[in-house]
Amino acid sequence: MKKGGWMLLHARGGAEVESIERVSRGEEPIGTIAYMGTSRFWFESMQNWQREFVSIIAIVAFTIFLRQKGSAQSKPVDASHDETGE
């Protein structure tokens, strides 16, 4: 998928849901581009980004913790590649 394609898919799906809700209230449906200008779209997008950043931070933190834990598969943290030959 091209860069930014997920955002267009998110906008399209969100616009469909928003349109269904609007029609049920007797209002006009909303298009994808118009939906991208709503606060709901940006709120949901930022929530998604927050989840992604938290998961990446957790992966990095656990990787550092497990490496420093002294796994038999890991070389000493302060050892350079030249010193261990691995």
Q: Average pLDDT in the 3-22 region?
A: 86
The backbone torsions φ and ψ at residue 80, rounded to the nearest 5 degrees and listed phi first, read -80, 165
Contact between 65 and 75 under an 8 Å Cβ cutoff? The reply is: no
Which pLDDT score is estimated for 51? Answer: 85
Confidence class for position 22, pLDDT limits 50, 70, 90: very high
Which pLDDT score is estimated for 77? Answer: 64
- Domain borders along the chain are 5-73
